[in-house]
Amino acid sequence: SQQGEEDPQALSIQEGENATMNCSYKTSINNLQWYRQNSGRGLVHLILIRSNEREKHSGRLRVTLDTSKKSSSLLITASRAADTASYFCATSDFGNEKLSFGTGTRLTIIP
């Protein structure tokens, strides 16, 4: 069964604007990861945040984690056309090596 659920399902913004995507999950987690998928390709790992962390940055990416609300957000600042892709959150439970993926947010950046 799906662990995470992204919101919104689809998002279109103008180039240069910031894009925010949210992820909610159901059970206690060890870590939460965000991945990106371009059409017809495999997923690419973007960033990992552990359950004892609240915020993490990587370049134009900012991820937050609120374990009390079982939610995470991914912020992409100063978006570019090349950011157009689907973005997935994935969670790892304690004692469980497998990653469970959400349903994804399809992001379109309008040049």
Partner 1 sequence: NAGVMQNPRHLVRRRGQEARLRCSPMKGHSHVYWYRQLPEEGLKFMVYLQKENIIDESGMPKERFSAEFPKEGPSILRIQQVVRGDSAAYFCASSREMRDSPLHFGNGTRLTVT
Site residues for partner 1 per CB under 8 A: 2, 30-31, 33, 35, 40-45, 48, 50, 88, 92, 96-104
Q: How far is CA 70 from CA 27, 77, 85, in A?
A: 8, 23, 24
Cβ proximity to partner 1, 15 vs 70, nearer residue? 70
Least separation in angstroms between CB 70 and partner 1 = 17
Least separation in angstroms between CB 43 and partner 1 = 5
Cβ proximity to partner 1, 7 vs 101, nearer residue? 101
3-class DSSP state for residue 52?
Answer: coil
The residues, any chain, with a CB within 8 Å of residue 79's CB and separated by 6 or more, are 13, 14, 15, 16, 17, 18, 19, 107, 109
Least separation in angstroms between CB 91 and partner 1 = 11
- Asked whether the beta carbons of 6 and 105 are under 8 A apart, the reply is yes
Least separation in angstroms between CB 16 and partner 1 = 27
Cβ proximity to partner 1, 19 vs 34, nearer residue? 34
Cβ proximity to partner 1, 15 vs 93, nearer residue? 93
- Asked whether the beta carbons of 28 and 18 are under 8 A apart, the reply is no
